[in-house]
Structure 1
Amino acid sequence: MYRKGHYGVSLLVFAPIAFVLLWFEQTNLAVVTGAAMLWLAMLPDVDHHLPGIPHRGPTHSLAFAALVGGAFGAAGVALSDALSGSQTGVAALSGISFGVLGFAIGALAVVAHLLGDALTPAGVNFLWPLSGLTYSLGLWAADNTIANYGLFAAGVFATGAAAYLGVAL
C-alpha cells in the first residue's frame, strides 16, 4: 500500500477506538490516539532507509509491533508520571492506564500497516523471526490508486461515523 492506503487502514483500525473513547467522554485521548496512529502509519516503511534491512522484513512483523508498543507504553508511563501533579483531565488516568494506552497505540499502528500490506500480493511475514511464511490476500497491487484512495475514504468515513455515534449516543 501507499501512504493514503495506510492512512485509511489506520483510520479503520482507529474508528472503534475513537467510538469507545468518545463514548466515555475522553475527547482529548481520542484526538491524541488518532493523531498518533496516523503519525505512526508509515513507521514500518522505515526499512527503506535502513541499510541491510529488507523491505517488508523485520519492521513488517508482529515482533516490531510489540517493540513499538513497548516503547510507546513506556512513554505513556513516563508521561503519566510527569503529569501526576497536574490538574488536566488527561492526568486522571493512572500510569498503568497510560502505559496500556501507549502500548495499544504503538502496536495497533504497526499492525494496521501490516494489514494494509497483507492486502497486496507481496504480503507480509507477520511471524518474523519465527517463520519465513508470507501472508497475503493478494487483492490488489500496492500502487493501485483506486484501492489506496478507497481505503482512505473508507477510513475517513468509519472514523467520522464512529465520532458521531460516540458523541451522539
Structure 2
Amino acid sequence: MFRAGHYGVSLALYAPVGGLLVADGHPTAAVAGGAILCWFAMLPDVDHRLPGVSHRGPTHTLAFAALVGGTVWAAASAGASAAGLGSVAVGPVGFPAFAGSMFAFAVLAHLVGDLLTPMGVALLWPLSGHRYSLSVTPADSTAWNYGLFALGVFASAAAAYLGLAATSASGFP
C-alpha cells in the first residue's frame, strides 16, 4: 500500500471516532486525532530504514502497535507531569491516553491497509509468523490507493457533517 492508500484507510477507520468526538462537543480533539493519524500513518514503514529489519516484519505487528501506544502514553504522562499539566484533557480523556491511543491507532490503521494486499502482515509476531491477508488488491495499485484515499476523505467529511448535525440537534453551541 502506498502513502495515499494508508492515509485513506486511516481516515476511513477514524471517521466514526472523529464524528463522535465532534458530536460530543470536542471538534478540536477530533481534528487533532485525525492529524496525528495522517502524520504517523507510515510509521510502521520505518523498517525500510532499519538495517536487519525486514519489511512487514516486527514493525507491522500488534505488538508494535502496543509498544508505540504504550511508549507515547508513558512519554506524554511524564512530560505532562513535569510541565504541571497532569490534568489536561483532550476531548473526553486525559492527554497521555489520547496521545497513546492515537499513535497506536495510526499503527493499527497501517496494518489494516497492508492486510488488504496479498503479502499481508504477521499480526501476531513474535508468537506466530503466520501472515494474514485479505488479498483484495496489490499494494502498488494506483486505482485502489487513490480510491481508498477518496473513501477516507469522504468518510471523514460525512462524519464531521453528521457530528455537527448531532451537536446542533442536541443544543451545543
TM-score strictly above 0.5: yes
Q: Whole-Å Cα distance in 1 between the matches of residues 89 and 69 of structure 2?
A: 22
2:108 to 101, 106, 111: 111
CA positional deviation for 1:110: 0.3
CA positional deviation for 1:77: 2.3
Query: Is 1:147–2:132 an aligned residue pair?
Result: no
1:25-104 maps to which residues of 2 (within 5 A)?
25-78=25-78, 80-81=80-81, 82=83, 84=85, 91-92=88-89, 97-104=94-101
Contact 2:88–2:95 (Cα < 8 Å) also in 1: no
CA positional deviation for 1:100: 2.0
Contact 2:29–2:90 (Cα < 8 Å) also in 1: no
1:163 to 151, 160, 165: 160
Q: Whole-Å Cα distance in 1 between the matches of residues 21 and 79 of structure 2?
A: 19
TM-score, normalised to structure 1, is 0.90
Q: What amino acid does structure 2 have at the position aligned with 1:17?
A: V
Q: Whole-Å Cα distance in 2 between the matches of residues 56 and 105 of structure 1?
A: 21
CA positional deviation for 1:92: 4.5
Rate the CA distance shift 1:91–1:118 in 2: closer, same or farther, 3 A: same
Contact 2:60–2:123 (Cα < 8 Å) also in 1: yes
Higher mean displacement: 65-74 or 153-162: 65-74
| Residue 169 (structure 2) aligns with | none
TM-score, normalised to structure 2, is 0.88
Contact 2:23–2:164 (Cα < 8 Å) also in 1: yes
Q: Whole-Å Cα distance in 1 between the matches of residues 70 and 162 of structure 2?
A: 31
Q: What amino acid does structure 1 have at the position aligned with 2:138?
A: A
Contact 1:76–1:101 (Cα < 8 Å) also in 2: no
Q: In angstroms, what is the RMSD of aligned CA positions?
A: 1.9
**Helix, strand or coil at the partner of 1:126:** coil
Provide the aligned length of Structure 1 versus Structure 2: 164
CA positional deviation for 1:76: 3.4
Q: Whole-Å Cα distance in 2 between the matches of residues 20 and 83 of structure 1?
A: 29
Gaps of 5+ in 2: 167-173
Q: Whole-Å Cα distance in 2 between the matches of residues 126 and 5 of structure 1?
A: 19
Q: What amino acid does structure 2 have at the position aligned with 1:106?
A: F
CA positional deviation for 1:98: 2.1
Rate the CA distance shift 1:12–1:48 in 2: closer, same or farther, 3 A: same
Gaps of 5+ in 1: none
Contact 1:80–1:93 (Cα < 8 Å) also in 2: no
1:70-125, Cα deviation, whole Å (9 max, x unpaired): 1221243245433639xxxx93459x722221221011110100000010000000
Identity %: 56
Contact 1:6–1:113 (Cα < 8 Å) also in 2: yes
Q: What amino acid does structure 2 have at the position aligned with 1:69?
A: G
Contact 1:18–1:163 (Cα < 8 Å) also in 2: yes
